[in-house]
Structures are given as C-alpha cells and as structure tokens.
Amino acid sequence: MTRITRRALAAAPLALAASRALAAPMPAPVSPAPASPWPDATESAARIRRGEITAAEVVETAIRRAEAMQGALNFVVNSDFDRALAKAKAGPTGPFAGVPFLVKDLVDYKGLPTRGGSQSQRFEPPATKQAPNCDAFDRAGLIVLGKSATPEAGFLPSTEPLTTGLTHNPWDLSRSPGGSSGGSSVAVAAGIVPAAHATDGGGSIRIPASHCGLFGLKPSRGRIDDFEGKVGITAFGVEHVVTRSVRDSAAILALTEDHKPGANYPPVGVVAGPNKKRLRIGVMLANGEGHSPTPDVVAAHDHAVKLVTDLGHHIDYVRLPYDGDRFIQDFLLFWAGGAQRLASDITKATGRKPDGTMLEPFTLGLIDLANRTKPEDFGQTMKRLEADVLAYDTWFGAYQFDVVLSPVLSSGPPKLGEIGPLVPFDTLVARLTEYVGYTPIHNLAGAPAMSVPLYWTPEGLPIGTMFAARAGQERMLFELAYELEAANPWAHRIPPVHV
C-alpha cells in the first residue's frame, strides 16, 4: 500500500499545531507540589537533579507500570521502551530531564510510525521527521515511552478505534476516557506518566481531562506555532499536554510556546502561582442545543460556581451570543469537510476510494455528508461560523467579564460504545450534538480554555468544569487554576485502576 503521509492525515479536522519555539529556561515554580501519591513532572525532575533517583530508574519504573497496566487500559499503541531507557541512561538534559512522557499518535515522532488510530495508516513506516512541538519536548528532556491511543484521525470524542481497540477509563473500566487525547489522559490518570502530549481540535484536550480527573488547558491559536502557518478558523487544532498539576501544564507551555520575533502573542513565560485580582466570571449552564446537562453535571457546575463565589470572584449569568443549535450543525459540516479532505488524500496516495477496510463507519458517514453538501452551502456555513467567532470575542467586551465558566460536556463519562464509531451515523450525530455542545467554539475562535477537575460524583466519576477566556489570556487562566487547585485540591484522588 502506498504510504499516506502525515500531511494527508493533518488534512483531517484535527489539523495540528506545533511549536517551533526554542525552549525557554524554566525558573523554579513558586507553587508548592500538590499532595499526591505520585510526584508530578516538576517534582520528578527535581528529584533526578538532586540525585535522589536516576533518570534511568524513573523511566524503568514507568515502563514497568505501562507494561502492567496496558492489558486493562489499552492506552499505548506503539511502545518505544528500549530507546526510552537508552536515552535515560545517556544522561538527558533540560528542565524535565528524565521525566517519562507519551506522544499522541496523531503527531510524528522520529523513529515511530504515525497511524492516527486508522487502518488507512497501518503500513506507515517510522517517521524520519517530527513536529516542532516534539523537538521542544526533546529539548526539555522529556523521555518518550511511545505513542498514545487516539480515535481515528481524532474525529470522535471517545477513544474506541477499531484498529487498536477500546481504551478504558481507570475510574470505571466500562466507561470512555473521552477523546481524542484518551490514551494520554488514561496514562496520566492511572499514574503511569506525570504528563502526556495532547491535541485539541474541538475539545480533545478538555474532554478526556474532564472524564479522567486531570487538568487540561487548550492554548490559543498561534500560542504554539501552527504546523503549516495557517491563520483563521481553519487553523483550529492546537497542541499541549494533560497533567495532574497546574504547574506542570504551565511550565511545559513556557517551554513550547512561540518565542520568535513576530509571534502571535508575547510569551506567557512560567506562570508560577495565583493572582490576587478578582475576576468577573460569566456563568453559563445550557449546552449548544439550549438544553440543561445531566444532574451530575449540574451538581458539578453548581459546586464550581459556589467555589469561585466563595473565593471572591464576581459572577454574572450569561447566554451564548449566537444560535448554539445552528452552530453545532455548522461545526459538524465543517468537521465533515475535514473527513472529505482526508478521503481525497487517501485516494491520491493509494489510487483507491476509501472504504470500510480503510476507514471507520463514522468517518465514512462524515465523508458522505460532505459529498452531499453543495459548495455554496459550505461557503454559507463558513460565513456563519466566522460571524460566531466574532460574536464570541465581542461577547466578553459587551458583558465586561474576564472568564466564562461552563460545563465541559453535557454528561459525565459515557459507557464505552455509546458514542463509538459503530453506532449508526444519524444516531451518533444526534448523541454527539447533545454531548459536545460547549467546547468547539474555542477552537474556531482561537481562544484558550481549560478543564479543571473540581468535582467527583457520588459514584466516584470525575466531572471537569471549563473556564474560557479571550485569545491570548493563558496567564489569567493559569492563575485562576492555581487558586482553584489550592482551594479544591484534586491530585490526591486516585482512580480504582492505577499503578
């Protein structure tokens, strides 16, 4: 089979951003280590620097944990254990020297194939180049153990690819960990690695962070350089990490953000703790369909609203500044256009029209939806989405708030199979439009948003709360996250299935 390049896969909706920035020096964080049974990446690196443990010992422990947990959780799709251990023994350098890490299998990493959760990529050879963001991870000293699981091309918000099988949530093995950064989130939640690479084209950092009890920040468009230099709403995919601690996320962003002259934003640098400034927070509960979420999500939402109020922040109740139901339908068609481009690239690479031996039923359904849509209808869709993006930005000024607080999703972690690729297309679309009604706008607007794990249900399932801001406001979100982490800690919580 003719090779399908990463460029072909990147034509899918999750067109990935990647940093070309040089790694900036990282000062010691002010924020103390969160109480946790496992050291975070910052503390692991500090212990290695102090000589309390070697990088090889840390990596070898992570490898043993990964081998022990893979059968139950299925979070790795390509391991690189021998090379990882060799790197650790060679004496890595950088602020996170010796800290084990995973790269999501939608991004090239030298020496490993990129298969994107798809049968269409099953014959991919090992990559000879890698995304600029991965160069930054290597410079930071992170030791890549392998590639983490993802749904096909990142299309679904649940990690259930037919080619590698179900990835299980360590809080309840019968439930989805979310997607598309599901494998990375499972590995961090279960204590295998302290941080892992993630991407977000419609919620793919925030969704699994919510379902796995992690901190997950989606950066602004251009904060970490776009891989192909795109601007506007077509450059809606970004990269960062999922972590247990806020300080790990903040430090890794500082090492991977764009520092070049002419960057989209002045560098954030290392955000090391909270800010005393009290924020105006807009509070929104209804999803894009205008419906209230499940009772568990309402309880999580109410808990978060009380928390920020008790901390002295001012809240106002707000509504979406655009037609949320129409936006979700437009976004679905926009998403389908990415599947159509992926199909075109596969045909060019193989000489064959994609079928069920190459792509999953849901992906084929998206392609069919795009093929049945007239070009002029696509054009009108793009105009409406651009208007919605403008409305999002002016919304903040009109209400004079700093941050919007909302659910991440309309429900907690669904049962595996409920939103998997084998569900009939129309049924699955109906479920998805109800389930994922909060996250996509931030991708099109290029705005930062974060899922913060502030609530667990009586059954012990995590439900994140989302905080979003205007483009370029990562510092404000990190400062708020530090305050929330101190007031409502989460790092001590351990899922039933863990190392």
| CATH code, domain with 422 | 3.90.1300.10
Residue 497, domain member (yes or no): no
Residue 493, domain member (yes or no): no
Model pLDDT, residue 261:
86
Model pLDDT, residue 30:
56
Dihedral over Cα of 98, 104, 105, 107: its sign: negative
The structural domain count of the chain equals: 1
Residue 499, domain member (yes or no): no
Model pLDDT, residue 232:
82
Print pLDDT tens along the chain (499 aa): 333 443 344 334 333 333 333 334 454 555 777 778 899 999 999 999 999 999 999 999 999 999 999 999 999 999 999 999 999 999 999 999 999 999 999 999 999 999 999 999 999 999 999 988 899 999 999 999 999 999 999 999 999 999 999 999 999 999 999 999 999 999 999 999 999 999 999 999 999 999 999 999 999 999 986 545 556 888 899 999 999 999 999 999 999 999 888 888 999 999 999 999 999 999 999 999 899 999 999 999 999 999 999 999 999 999 999 999 999 999 999 999 999 999 999 999 999 999 999 999 999 999 999 999 999 999 999 999 999 999 999 999 988 999 999 999 999 999 999 999 999 999 999 999 999 999 999 999 999 999 999 999 999 999 999 999 999 999 999 999 999 999 999 999 999 999 8
B/e letters for 247-275, b = 16+ CB within 10 Å, e = fewer, are: bbbbbbbbbbbbbeeeebbeebbbbbbbe
Residue 217, domain member (yes or no): yes
The whole-angstrom distance between residue 462's C-alpha and the CA centroid of its chain comes to 16
Residue 492, domain member (yes or no): no
Indicate left, alpha or beta for 141 from its phi (over 0: left) and psi (-120 to 50: alpha): left
Q: Can you give the residue range of the structural domain that contains 44?
A: 6-487
Model pLDDT, residue 1:
33
As annotated, the active-site residues are 104, 180, 204
- What does the alpha-carbon distance between residue 313 and residue 381 come to, in Å, rounded to a whole number? 37
- Residue 122, Cβ neighbours under 10 Å: how many? 13
H or E element that contains 371: helix 361-371
Residue 498, domain member (yes or no): no
Going from the C-alpha of 156 to that of each of 21, 306, 433, 436, 467, the distances in angstroms are 30, 32, 12, 10, 22
Model pLDDT, residue 449:
98
Residue 121, domain member (yes or no): yes
Strand, coil or helix: 13: coil
Residue 80, domain member (yes or no): yes
